[in-house]
Each structure stands twice: as C-alpha cells, then as structure tokens.
C-alpha cells in the first residue's frame, strides 16, 4: 500500500471506462475489478477513489452520476474525490497530519515523512488504542510471521525526532504501541 499516492479502483465490466480513466489519470494507480466484486469497506475513507459502474449510474465514492453523462462530468467528479483525499488530515495537538501527502504541518512549517513513517503514524492515530507490534509489522511492512526486528522501534524513534510532541504521545507497553491524543 502506498500512503503517498491516490488510487482509483474501478468496479466495472466496461473496458472503455477503464481505458478512458487510464489515459486521463496517468499519475494515479488504477485497478480494474469485475463488476461483481465489492469494494473494501474502508476504501472510501483511505486514499482510494471507488468508481462503481451500475446499470443506471456510476458511483464515485459518495457521489452518483446518472447515465448518460458527459465524460468531462466523470473526470470532474473523480478529480473532486482525489482533491478531498489529499486534503483530509488529522489534528494532533497543534500539528496537522496529512497521510496522503506524507507531511505534517505546524505553524506554517512543513515536516516531510517517509511513506512508512506516515503509514505508521496514520495506523496508530486510526487505531485509537494499543496495537500489537506484530500487527504493525504485518500491516505496514508486510511481515507474515513474528520476526525479531528493530524496524518498528527505529521508525518510531525517527518519528519522535521529527515530531518532538510525539515523544510523550507514543507509548509502548511491552509489545504494544499507542498514540495518546489530547
């Protein structure tokens, strides 16, 4: 999973729709699925735009375009969703965290995070409680089994160096981690 980039997921049996969107959105990952597949429940809340082809309309996340529609209307609706995804952030005290952009802002200053730092911080913020080390290693780095690695500790250390406020907010208890938000 790439936290920094948006993705368009197309659920359709319409090759023309897929070809058109691939040509228009060259800087965005596009995946095509058969119409019978269901989008993941949390996709519309992440950095993914869902395009669901239905008999009487096309749904773009929470917006619907009745058929027939102008291609420009479809492109405009998708661009609108991509912009929404880019602008959604989290407020952490006086920092604003934008996971899709891999940045944290504070009083006009911009702090750049790596993909993994951004994914780790977003995962902890969304979890709202303790998360086991193995879950973080699996979800963020793709490790399949329990492994003995300092990857997680190293990334948390680097996050705390970049964002001093997190030194007090990210808590470790044995093999579990959480972020304590004000």
Provide the CATH number for the domain around residue 145. 1.10.10.10
Task: Tell me 28's DSSP state.
Answer: S
68/125 same-domain check: no
Mean pLDDT of 73-83: 76
134/82 same-domain check: no
32 has which bridge partners? Answer: 10
The whole-angstrom separation of Cα 113 and Cα 9 is 26
Residue 174 within any structural domain of the chain: yes
pLDDT-based confidence at residue 88 (cuts at 50, 70, 90): low
Residue 142 within any structural domain of the chain: yes
Mean pLDDT of 58-63: 73
Instruction: Count the domains in the chain.
Output: 2
The whole-angstrom separation of Cα 144 and Cα 155 is 19
Residue-number span of the structural domain to which 117 is assigned: 90-179
108/30 same-domain check: no
Helical H runs in 2-150?
A: 15-24, 71-87, 115-127, 133-141
**DSSP reduced 3-state for 54:** coil
Question: How far is residue 64 CA from its own chain's centroid?
Answer: 22
Give the H/E segment covering residue 71: helix 71-87
57/114 same-domain check: no
What pLDDT score was predicted for residue 156? 93
Backbone angles phi, psi at 126, to 5 degrees: -65, -35
11-20, 77-86, 87-96, 116-125: the lowest-pLDDT one? 77-86
pLDDT-based confidence at residue 54 (cuts at 50, 70, 90): confident
166/140 same-domain check: yes
Residue 162 within any structural domain of the chain: yes
113/71 same-domain check: no
3-12, 35-44, 114-123, 157-166: the lowest-pLDDT one? 35-44
27/69 same-domain check: yes
pLDDT-based confidence at residue 48 (cuts at 50, 70, 90): low
pLDDT of 68 higher than 70: yes
């Amino acid at each position: 999973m790439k936290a920094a980039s948006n993705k368009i997921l197309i659920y359709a049996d319409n090759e023309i729709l897929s070809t058109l969107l691939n040509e228009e959105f060259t800087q965005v990952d596009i995946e095509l699925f058969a119409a019978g597949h269901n989008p993941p429940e949390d996709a519309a809340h992440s950095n993914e735009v869902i395009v669901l082809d239905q008999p009487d309309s096309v749904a773009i996340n929470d917006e619907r375009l009745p058929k027939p529609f102008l291609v420009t209307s479809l492109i405009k609706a998708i661009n609108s969703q991509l912009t929404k995804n880019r602008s959604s952030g989290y407020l952490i005290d006086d920092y604003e965290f934008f996971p899709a952009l891999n940045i944290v802002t504070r009083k006009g200053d911009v702090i750049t995070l790596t993909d993994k730092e951004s994914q780790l911080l977003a995962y902890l913020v969304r979890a709202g409680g303790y998360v086991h080390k193995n879950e973080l290693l699996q979800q963020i780095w793709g490790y399949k089994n329990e492994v003995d690695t300092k990857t997680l500790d190293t990334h948390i250390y680097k996050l705390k160096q970049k964002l001093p406020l997190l030194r007090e907010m990210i808590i470790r208890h044995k093999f579990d981690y959480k972020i304590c938000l004000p």
